Amino acid sequence: MRIPVIAGNWKMHKTNAEARALCSDIRDGARNATHCRIVLAPPYTALGAAAEVIRGTNLILAAQNVHWEPKGAFTGEISIPMLEDAGCCMVILGHSERRQCFGETDQTVNRRLRAVMKSSLDPIVCIGETLGQREAGNYQEVISQQLAGSLDGLTGRELLRIILAYEPVWAIGTGRTASPQVAQEVHLGIRGWLSEKFGAEAARQVRILYGGSIKPENIPDLMRQPDIDGGLVGGACLEAESFLRIIHYDSRSTGGK
């Protein structure tokens, strides 16, 4: 069964004091949320503060990126052992902002992923087409290429530790959500690709999140789609009130698909 995941990507927001306040509000409001897994991804500097507040709760700590080398002369980078030490259990890889602003490619995502697979961290691997690629009509091909490059060399067993996040670039931070039907079509295509490559059973078990302008108002319809297993939330995760409404997207929901 695929237990839903609601993940908040804080991006470059929140000081330590702000992180503590947000984490404690989410912790209190999400205490009874057993229908989904809740992931918080603060910036590196706030990981320690967040870890203190959520220790022993149902909230899972994630980082927004990681380097593939365990240590060395890599100014400005953060390693897997550092994230483990800070209390992280997960890490986001290949977010479109990393791809667009910081030269991330499928190959570098793959290097990070392979290193993460040897660690205790579980990855959320992001993929998604740009507006130009969507309008050109070849977005399924673009996504297949991103999957092939990012997941290169992965075994079916390893695949089960991965969460994928489909985030159409044109929907991130723009207020323009992909309609539930448009997102479902891509999610189904991703599952089909995974099935061919890793087998039907592995593909059936992998969670695929949607991301891009998720709000309390649109999450219920997205979650009703058979192949959408949760959300990667940006802007709406920065206030406890809206993130909690997203977490509690459907109080009648008892869990996975």
Choosing from 35, 67, 95, 187, the catalytic residue is: 95
Site for ligand PGA in 118-177 (CB under 6 A): 167, 172-173
95 an active-site residue?
A: yes
Q: Is 67 left (phi over 0), alpha (psi -120 to 50) or beta?
A: beta
Return the residues of window 2-31 that contact ligand PGA according to CB under 6 A: 9
Q: Which stretch binds ligand PGA (CB under 6 A): 46-54, 65-73, 129-137, 227-235?
A: 227-235
Nearer to ligand PGA, 66 or 203 (CB): 66
Residue 234 in contact with ligand PGA, rule: CB under 6 A:
yes
- Give dist(CA 138, CA 49) in Å, integer: 43
Nearer to ligand PGA, 63 or 232 (CB): 232
In b/e form, how buried is each residue of 129-144, taking b as 16+ CB within 10 angstroms? bbeebbeeeebbebbb
- Supply the minimum distance, in Å, between the C-beta of residue 243 and ligand PGA: 11
Nearest to 44 by CA among 89, 11, 90, 6: 11
E strand or H helix at 110, and its extent?
Answer: helix 106-117
213 touching ligand PGA, by CB under 6 A: yes
The CB-of-80 to ligand PGA minimum distance in angstroms stands at 21
Q: Residue 89 and residue 245: Cα distance in Å, rounded?
A: 24
- CA dist., res. 230 & res. 244, Å (int): 14
d(Cα 246, Cα 157) in Å, to the nearest integer?
Answer: 31
- Asked if residue 214 binds ligand PGA (CB under 6 A), the reply is yes
Contact between 216 and ligand PGA per CB under 6 A: no
Question: How many helices and strands (H and E) does the chain possess?
Answer: 12, 8
* Nearer to ligand PGA (CB atom), residue 13 or residue 257: 13
**Is 232 among the residues that bind ligand PGA (CB under 6 A)?**
yes
Residues labelled as active-site residues: 95, 167
Residues of the shown chain interacting with ligand PGA in the complex, contacts defined by CB under 6 A: 9, 167, 172-173, 211-214, 232-236
